[in-house]
Structure 1
Amino acid sequence: MKFINFFLFFLKKKEKIIIKSLLIPCLILVLLTMLIVPLSPFLLDILFTFNITLSIMILISTMLMQHTLEFSSFPIILLFSTLLRLSLNIASTRIILLKGHLGSVSAGYVIESFGNFLVGGNFIIGIVIFIILVIINFIVITKGVSRISEVGARFTLDAMPGKQMAIDSDLNAGLIQSTEAKKRRLKIEKEADFYGSMDGASKFVRGDAIAGIIIMFVNLLGGLFVGIWQHNMTFSEASQIYCLLTIGDGLVAQIPSLIISTASAIIVTRINSDQNNVGDQILQQLFNVPKVILLSGLVIGILGLIPGMPHLVFLLFTFGLCILSWRIYKKELNLKNFDKKKKDMFTQNEHNITLSWKDVSFEELMVIELSHDLISLTQTSDADGLLLHLNKIRKNFAQEIGFLPSIIHVLINHELLLNQYRILVKGIEIARGKVYLNKLLAIDNGSAKGVLTGKKIYDPVFNLPAFWIKKELEQKAISKNFLIVKNSMVIITHFHNIIKNYFHEIFGFQETQELLDYISQSTPKLVESLIPSKLSVFDLQKILQNLLKEKISIRDIRTILETLLEFTPTIKKDLEILTGMVRIALRKSITQKYFFNSGDIKVLGLNFELETLLLNNIEKNNYILDPKLAENLIKNTKIAIEIQKKNKNPIILLVNHSLRFFLARIFFKSIPELIVLSFFEISEERNVIITVFIR
């Protein structure tokens, strides 16, 4: 079909439809032409090979199908394959009688191979094998197929009224829709048509077997007559050549016929299944009962012990069947035990366990998980204790960012490897590391001299080379200018550095409400004037999260609320613009945060052409950059950052206020170290110098 579709590819749609509709009729005409037109030996070899291949494909298709109607074209294929074999029989008979005197290859290599190789060149053996194949095909298979097809067609037709009534009953009861009812009726009609067609098609198989016998005798007697009377061959010579050619021709035709007959028998004897094909059904139903396999092995073993019997073979089969029976029995036993445990578990859950909301576990906001061997870190109450430092971190966070974070939970996770810890936010792992008990971490901050004996790693916070050393080497490491950090402080420092990037996720609705409750104690009128008449708690949470996401402290909450109270009525709750107005109001805090000790503010900037291009993009409400432009922007920004680092200037980009939020969103993931500020977010009294322009 792929070969045909390749040539149809260059044709128009109408031409393709016409050619496909004429394809099968043309093939039938070719088969009929073979009855009249002589074929060359080479073409005959190709057609015989195709016949064998076709029969194998049909047999495999019948083995793999799950429903009979999956191969509803089988009766017509059976007719065509029979017609093909008869046409080949006539063509081969013609060429045997015309050119048989030239030798065994005169009718093609396929017939010659079957006549010589498969039967050893002995025509007597060939005749016996051919007769056996014909008897098997004619008396056993085709007769059974014919009978089963006849009974199957009759039973299918008898069952049709009952099936139709069952469909009508389900439809009237509302169990199925009219569309499903139509599908079921159509399926019943197709089954009736199929079994009716198979009843007739089975006669083709039976007739083909009879024709094979007749053609063999015609070839044999006709070949002897032609060889002796027309080509002056001796009886021995004519028998040798024409008998081998006849037997080869008969075997080439009968083997595909036997395969097709087997396929017919499979398709009419199979039981439809929604899940398994014929092979699966045989394996599950025949080789899945340990008692049957064990008894069969015992019977074979008893026969093998009888004197004169083939002991070795029989006892090998006994041994194999016993092992197979034991394995299947163990598999069934394990399955039963599993089902019993499952049933007991369900019974226990149903009768013995009382469930409540206390059994529901929610994810905590911040968690540090430790492997079981690090539990001693939580049991230390001195100044170096892990829990004490975590409380200090919460206090520092509250003073630094302006709200009280939730409790930092420390849990023991037995699934972690030894010496491991991990940091989670809302149940999601954001960092992982290792610490070692009774050891210290010696970090090379750039001024260390030499190396130390210990496990070399890289510091999880600053990615500096470090060594886990024994406590006895502490003074030696200090003398070499290594920075000494205790194991608990490694976790604390890692947590402190990582969690700064997740303040906006930790700050939720509950934290917003608690912050409002606390600030309303000192400025109740301010909170009442803003919340909820002009701004909801949820909108305030989003604005504060926007600030925290870019590491802007919300300690000056009074300025934030006053700014929102001023601009909310005119801006109409555009949270991005409101966030920008709050940032402008906090410009002194922002300037102090990033330029505390600096006289002049030395920052990165955009050149005029790039800034104009981006502003035009924003004015058109297009907040998505062209991929190539975005790639060049990020690339050139990274180059500018490297220059800024060499000059030891802050990694800050100063842009037009309209572009700030847009560019901050672009650089948030691609260049997280870059801080994007607008000109309005810098104090007026400070002098700004653009050191590097991004092009």
Structure 2
Amino acid sequence: MKNLKVTQFMAPIGVVGIVLLLVVPLPAPLLDVLIAVNITVSVLVLLTTMYIKKPLDFSIFPSLVLVATLFRLGLNVASTRLVLRDAYAGQVIDAFGHFVVGGSLVIGLVIFLILVVIQFAVITNGAGRAAEVSARFTLDAMPGKQMAIDADLNAGLIDEHDARRRRAEVAAEADFHGAMDGASKFVKGDAIAGIVITIINLIGGFIIGMLQHGMSAGESIETYAILTVGDGLVTQIPALLMSVATGLVVTRATAEEDMGTAASAQLLQSRNALAIAGVAALAMGLIPGLPKLPFIVVGIVLLVLAQRVKKADARAAAAAEAPAGTALQPAPETTEQLIEQMRVHALEILLAPDLVDLVGGSADQDLLARVRALRRKTALEMGFVLPPVRTRDSVDLPVATYAIRMSGVEVARGQAPAGRMLALGDGLDNLPGTLVNEPVFGLPGKWIPAELRHSAEMAGATVVDRTSVIITHLSALVSSHAPRLLGREDVRVLNEGLKQTNPSVVEELVPALLSLGEVQRVLQGLLAEQVPILDLARIYEALTLRAKVSTDAEGLVEAARVALGDTIVDRHAADQVLRVLTIEPGTEQLLLESLRPGDGGTQLSLAPDRVEALLAAVRGQVEAAEAGGKQVVLVCAPAIRPALRRLVALAVPRLPVLSYSEVSGTMMTIDTVGVVSVGHAIAA
């Protein structure tokens, strides 16, 4: 506790002491001590920057740069006062002026100017530019990172504590890079100040030596110029170290190792590069006139390192092959069997061995027949053919368990106990069974014995058979993963089908204006928001007009949505009435002004608190409408619809977001049930 209290006062006392350097004269011995501290601290800062793994590990660095710059300027003022007053500024400056530069004014000036050029023209400018770019990119990426955190939180991948910690890290990263952008200006100004102070010392010392001390012009220049150059070197060397440290920090990417470990590992990763560099060094040693020994030594060292890397790679390869060599030889298989095993199916249903009775039962309970019905329903409602669903048993699954895979990856798992049915709703307390949650809507339910179905229905519960549970689960997954299931070959089939009835529409668009892959992206974008692609001719016509202006994917999707506006509205209307939420004009104008382009489309560049306020307002309006039994959509300006949809999906994924252009052409009755207004929370 005592040490903690001391460290709390060290920084303020140090800053006050630095300010006093500008005013209070210092004795030469004390100046020597402070100069030694300045050089040592600069070396310490430089070494620290080389051992950090990410910039935020040294978050105090921008403030430290400012304090160190002020400290060096204070030492400049104190040393200038001693040089001009006493023609002596301590042993350190005297050593730099006489011993380091050999007492030669010309050598000293040349070394000083070289240091200034290196610092000012090379390191400081590069570090300043890197800091500026890092700050801009970090600020531009901040909304996307915040939305990614919110998405992980809503998906349950992280808890609230982790979300707060990651948000704090994102904010700290943005603040750090912004501070580094300013700190680089301090370093640049320090270099300029060093040049100006040196020129003033040369002129002032020359005048004082001649007028006050009666020296000749030569004596005055020799005395004061040597001291001035020594003073300049004493301050420029720490300044150069701080400039290098600044460059290392702003160019340091996040890594798992410190800079030395990462550099050695990455420089020694290529045996061929080391060998070629070694041969090149040996070849340069053979050039007439060049010293042979240095190049030969360097070449031999590189070749030795290349040989060591080769042996390390051989040991790693042997270790990797060892388990395979000791394994038992598999039974021979035909090429057709291997190809079948290698095939990755778009959709699979895996059943535990006790669930195989679901296949081949009665017509209304046969799982395969229900899957075929689902494929037909999806094709007629959404406009694309669902890939064949492979159904097989798996001994790896627990009893009564089924799993659904997409492209070989399990996306969901559920229970369907044999001889039981799922009862949903109230009045389940008197029924036997364990409470479970229905996998799609999360409703509480119980797997009850099949013979108690009538009793459960009399109690007011909804009873669902096992096959319906699996098909409902599969249908929900197909709906949410529709873009992933629409492959390039599926788009080609749709394209060929449309060509049979509307050849001119297809020929004008594909491949004249858009490739098949670009059309696939548009159709996937529509399916991602549950927009049917049945009316493919109208979609192609809209894409043809838009593609002549721009082939931006987001713009193409929006053009197709406008063309399908009546279809979209019809899907969300009830009894010929579309109930909408609108955005308060001031809030909408602010959203329009915050719109920024990004790699994944446009995005709203809002501060985290403003994003939370907006999402809270939307969530409140939706919950209020749903409490009154109303299903609503959010309507906004066309320019912000894609970005707003991506943002709103983080908090209310079930809320459709439409644009005024999509709604304007409908014959439905528009009923405004609420206005999203966050007032001063976002307008501040």
TM-score under structure 2 normalisation?
0.52
2:517 maps to a residue whose letter is F
* C-alpha separation in 1, matches of 2:283 and 2:349: 55
- Give the corresponding residue for 2:592: 615
RMSD: 4.0
Establish whether residue 674 from structure 1 lines up as the match of residue 655 from structure 2. yes
Give the Å deviation of 1:484. 1.6
Give the Å deviation of 1:17. 5.3
Establish whether residue 580 from structure 1 lines up as the match of residue 558 from structure 2. yes
Deviation readout 1:419-466 (Å, 9 max, x if unpaired): 11122222232221111001111111x5x4753112221222222222
* C-alpha separation in 2, matches of 1:541 and 1:472: 49
What aligned pairs does 1:304-323 form with structure 2 within 5 A after superposition? none
1:594 maps to a residue whose letter is H
- Give the corresponding residue for 2:675: 693
- Give the corresponding residue for 2:48: none
* C-alpha separation in 2, matches of 1:341 and 1:567: 57
Change (3 A) 1:473 1:358: same
TM-score under structure 1 normalisation?
0.51
What aligned pairs does 1:49-448 form with structure 2 within 5 A after superposition? 182=298, 342-343=324-325, 345=327, 348=329, 358=339, 361-380=342-361, 382-444=363-425, 446=426, 448=427
* C-alpha separation in 2, matches of 1:352 and 1:497: 41
- Give the corresponding residue for 2:472: 493
Deviation readout 1:21-43 (Å, 9 max, x if unpaired): 9xxxxxxxxxxxxxxxxxxxxxx
Picking from 493, 497, 504, the partner of 1:518 is 497
Deviation readout 1:63-101 (Å, 9 max, x if unpaired): xxxxxxxxxxxxxxxxxxxxxxxxxxxxxxxxxxxxxxx
Change (3 A) 1:17 1:659: closer
- Give the corresponding residue for 1:464: 443
* C-alpha separation in 2, matches of 1:396 and 1:179: 76
2:575 maps to a residue whose letter is N
- Give the corresponding residue for 1:15: 37
Change (3 A) 1:410 1:584: same
* C-alpha separation in 1, matches of 2:391 and 2:356: 10
Deviation readout 1:292-343 (Å, 9 max, x if unpaired): xxxxxxxxxxxxxxxxxxxxxxxxxxxxxxxxxxxxxxxxxxxxxx999853
**Does structure 2 retain, via aligned residues, the 8 Å contact 1:171–1:181?**
no
**Does structure 1 retain, via aligned residues, the 8 Å contact 2:573–2:579?**
no
Does the residue aligned with 2:511 lie in a helix, a strand or coil? coil
What aligned pairs does 1:37-56 form with structure 2 within 5 A after superposition? none
Does the residue aligned with 2:418 lie in a helix, a strand or coil? coil
Change (3 A) 1:340 1:639: closer
% identical equivalent positions: 25
* C-alpha separation in 2, matches of 1:363 and 1:19: 60
Establish whether residue 590 from structure 1 lines up as the match of residue 565 from structure 2. no
* C-alpha separation in 1, matches of 2:443 and 2:301: 76
Does the residue aligned with 1:546 lie in a helix, a strand or coil? helix
Does the residue aligned with 2:501 lie in a helix, a strand or coil? coil
- Give the corresponding residue for 1:641: 622
Give the Å deviation of 1:536. 1.2
Does the residue aligned with 1:677 lie in a helix, a strand or coil? strand
Change (3 A) 1:19 1:368: closer
Picking from 490, 501, 506, the partner of 1:527 is 506
* C-alpha separation in 2, matches of 1:360 and 1:369: 15
* C-alpha separation in 1, matches of 2:362 and 2:595: 56
1:612 maps to a residue whose letter is Q
* C-alpha separation in 2, matches of 1:366 and 1:354: 25
* C-alpha separation in 2, matches of 1:433 and 1:644: 32
Does the residue aligned with 1:437 lie in a helix, a strand or coil? coil
Give the Å deviation of 1:483. 1.5
After superposing the two structures, state which structure 1 stretch, 550-559 or 497-506, moved more: 497-506
Change (3 A) 1:175 1:523: farther
Change (3 A) 1:568 1:468: same
- Give the corresponding residue for 2:536: 557
Deviation readout 1:77-135 (Å, 9 max, x if unpaired): xxxxxxxxxxxxxxxxxxxxxxxxxxxxxxxxxxxxxxxxxxxxxxxxxxxxxxxxxxx
What aligned pairs does 1:640-659 form with structure 2 within 5 A after superposition? 640-659=621-640
- Give the corresponding residue for 2:222: none
Does the residue aligned with 1:463 lie in a helix, a strand or coil? coil
Change (3 A) 1:171 1:19: closer
- Give the corresponding residue for 1:632: 613
- Give the corresponding residue for 2:463: 484
2:511 maps to a residue whose letter is P
2:587 maps to a residue whose letter is L
* C-alpha separation in 2, matches of 1:180 and 1:491: 73
Change (3 A) 1:423 1:520: same
2:510 maps to a residue whose letter is I
**Does structure 2 retain, via aligned residues, the 8 Å contact 1:458–1:464?**
yes
**Does structure 2 retain, via aligned residues, the 8 Å contact 1:377–1:488?**
yes
Does the residue aligned with 2:411 lie in a helix, a strand or coil? strand
* C-alpha separation in 2, matches of 1:180 and 1:373: 74
After superposing the two structures, state which structure 1 stretch, 659-668 or 399-408, moved more: 659-668
- Give the corresponding residue for 1:263: none
* C-alpha separation in 2, matches of 1:391 and 1:629: 47
**Does structure 1 retain, via aligned residues, the 8 Å contact 2:281–2:298?**
no
Does the residue aligned with 1:669 lie in a helix, a strand or coil? coil
**Does structure 1 retain, via aligned residues, the 8 Å contact 2:378–2:386?**
yes
**Does structure 2 retain, via aligned residues, the 8 Å contact 1:544–1:554?**
yes
After superposing the two structures, state which structure 1 stretch, 619-628 or 376-385, moved more: 619-628
Give the Å deviation of 1:12. 6.2
Picking from 529, 536, 547, the partner of 1:568 is 547
* C-alpha separation in 2, matches of 1:437 and 1:13: 84
Give the Å deviation of 1:613. 0.3
Give the Å deviation of 1:559. 0.9
Give the Å deviation of 1:616. 1.4
**Does structure 2 retain, via aligned residues, the 8 Å contact 1:591–1:681?**
yes
Establish whether residue 540 from structure 1 lines up as the match of residue 515 from structure 2. no
Change (3 A) 1:18 1:552: closer
Q: How many residues align?
A: 393
* C-alpha separation in 2, matches of 1:343 and 1:580: 56
* C-alpha separation in 1, matches of 2:406 and 2:35: 59
Change (3 A) 1:595 1:343: closer
Give the Å deviation of 1:646. 1.6
**Does structure 1 retain, via aligned residues, the 8 Å contact 2:282–2:296?**
no
* C-alpha separation in 2, matches of 1:659 and 1:19: 51
Change (3 A) 1:581 1:437: same
Does the residue aligned with 2:342 lie in a helix, a strand or coil? coil
**Does structure 1 retain, via aligned residues, the 8 Å contact 2:433–2:447?**
yes
* C-alpha separation in 2, matches of 1:523 and 1:374: 47
Give the Å deviation of 1:16. 6.2
* C-alpha separation in 2, matches of 1:607 and 1:18: 59
- Give the corresponding residue for 2:225: none
